[in-house]
Amino acid sequence: MISNDITVVGSIALDTLETSKGNRENLLGGSATYFSLSASLFSSVELIGIVGSDFPDSGWKILKSNNINCDNIEIKDGKTFSWGGRYSDDYSTRDTLFTELGVFETYKPIIKNSSNNNGILFLANIHPSLQLDVLNQMKSNISMVVSDTMNLWLDMDLNGVKEVISKSNIFLLNDEEALQLTGQSDMDKAGQDILQEGPDTVIIKLGGKGSLLFSKGEQFHVPCVPDIDVYDPTGAGDSFAGGLLGYISQYGFADKQEALIHASAIASYTVSDFGINKLLNLNLDTIKSRVDMIKNIMKD
Ligand code: AMP
């Protein structure tokens, strides 16, 4: 057991979601929330972020009762970041209905008394300048930097995204973002191109088609858990990252395939219900059956 601490910076949000299974308002969400709940199945997690004075007691209760250190979550007068999304019936596309930054708009993280002792830092999907700010403040406390992004930042601050990539040991992104970032039309070439930007490992998430890992001398595909009845894909990528880094914090990254299989298994729970619901009652024994399902497919 390695048992490294994990620190994450990212959004804590109130989400409004429309999927073919129904609509929900003001659900606890955000990239850092999905990540933390998934990673905390393996390790203690420190969350760096901001919420408004409207953040509900139920949100605090969920974070604090799940092994998540909230000392570096700032509370500011104003509204918590909120985001609305609508999915197409087959979940292949998503429209953003609104993004209300609220207290996030002027957020300037000041990290006090980090509990992370030479562990992992995850820069979840937020503005690259915030990711870099937190990286600079945490530098001496961490041994591994892992980051994620979204198309919005590729459009708005490509240089910032590239700087984050160059400072990351592992960089995660989805298939569309990988093609947009590299200008390639072939996913293998895109993965190899991003690897040249500096990270040791690049992971491209393929939605319902699994994920691809690229590192020097190694490249492989890990499928998703089959036949999942999808209710809401929000946060699947962040849960994948949480499962991945949770696994690495406990067992290291020598067996990359095993780490990605755990990440994929945990993401499969997230999409099986709205918001964070399915993550709340998970434990490592429960996920074992889905880990085994993925391994069985990979044997064929
Ligand atoms: P994902 O489905 O992995 O893209 O993550 C969805 C989560 O990202 C939702 O819970 C949103 O609250 C959050 N989110 C959406 N847009 C942004 C943004 N511009 N910055 C930070 N977080 C965001």
Give me the tens of pLDDT residue by residue for the chain, a chain 300 residues long: 556 799 999 999 999 999 999 999 999 999 999 999 999 999 999 999 999 999 999 999 999 999 899 999 999 999 999 999 999 999 989 999 999 999 999 999 999 988 888 899 999 999 999 999 999 999 888 999 999 999 999 999 999 999 999 999 999 999 999 999 999 999 999 999 999 999 999 999 999 999 999 999 899 999 999 999 999 999 999 999 999 999 999 999 999 999 999 999 999 999 999 999 999 989 999 999 999 999 999 997
Q: Give the pLDDT confidence score for residue 142 in this predicted structure.
A: 94
Query: By the 8 A CB rule, do 47 and 8 touch?
Result: yes
Question: Which atom from ligand 1 is nearest to the alpha carbon of 233?
Answer: 2
Characterize the bridge pairing of strands 119-123 and 94-100: unpaired
Q: Where are the domains of the chain?
A: 6-299
Query: By the 8 A CB rule, do 85 and 202 touch?
Result: no
Give the residue among 237, 233, 292 at the shortest CA–CA distance from 262.
Answer: 292
Which of 81, 105, 125 has most ligand 1 atoms within 8 Å of CB, for mutation? 125
Question: Which atom from ligand 1 is nearest to the alpha carbon of 152?
Answer: 19
Q: What is the three-class DSSP state of 38? A: helix
Q: Give the pLDDT confidence score for residue 195 in this predicted structure.
A: 98
| Residue 31 Cβ contacting ligand 1 at under 6 Å | yes
The H-or-E segment that residue 164 falls in is helix 158-166
**CATH class of the structural domain 6-299:** alpha beta
Q: Give the pLDDT confidence score for residue 3 in this predicted structure.
A: 62
Burial class (CB in 10 A: 0-12, 13-18, 19+), 198: middle
Cα–Cα dist 158/10, whole Å: 18
Cα-flanking dihedrals φ and ψ of residue 197, to 5°? -80, -10
pTM, full prediction: 0.96
Query: Nearest residue CA, atom 10 of ligand 1?
Result: 30
Q: Give the pLDDT confidence score for residue 139 in this predicted structure.
A: 87
- CA 30 to ligand 1 center in whole angstroms: 5
| Residue 107 Cβ contacting ligand 1 at under 6 Å | no
Query: By the 8 A CB rule, do 30 and 47 touch?
Result: no
Cα–Cα dist 190/181, whole Å: 8
Cα–Cα dist 193/85, whole Å: 31
Torsion-angle region of 113 (φ positive above 0: left; ψ -120 to 50: alpha; else: beta):
left
DSSP 8-state code for residue 21: T
Characterize the bridge pairing of strands 211-215 and 201-205: antiparallel
Which token pair is 4? 């490294």
